[in-house]
Amino acid sequence: MIESQLLFGLGMQEILIIAFVVLLLFGGKKIPELMKGLGKGVKSFKEGMNEVTDISKDEEKSEESKRWEGEK
């Protein structure tokens, strides 16, 4: 028998039960607000990661230019 595993080894029944419990705890009106906040948090995290990447690239470029100036 083949079992389908969805997310983190959870089956469809477990995911439905978790979704039902979340719905009971927070209510139908609060869930979209929570997801909106989660989305903003993920977006902010990605922007922060991009800034770190950009800063590290800038530092690498400045180090390269210093090396080139030293070789001249």
pTM of the predicted structure, to 2 decimals:
0.50
Give tens-digit pLDDT for 18-63.
989 988 888 888 888 888 999 999 999 999 888 888 787 777 777 7
The 10 Å CB-count burial string (b at 16+, else e) for 32-53 is eeeeeeeeeeeeeeeeeeeeee
Q: How far apart are CA 26 and CA 21, in angstroms?
A: 9
Tell which wins on pLDDT, 3 or 22: 22
Q: Does an H or E element contain 1, and which?
A: none
pLDDT value, residue 1: 40
Give yes or no for residue 68 having a pLDDT over 90: no
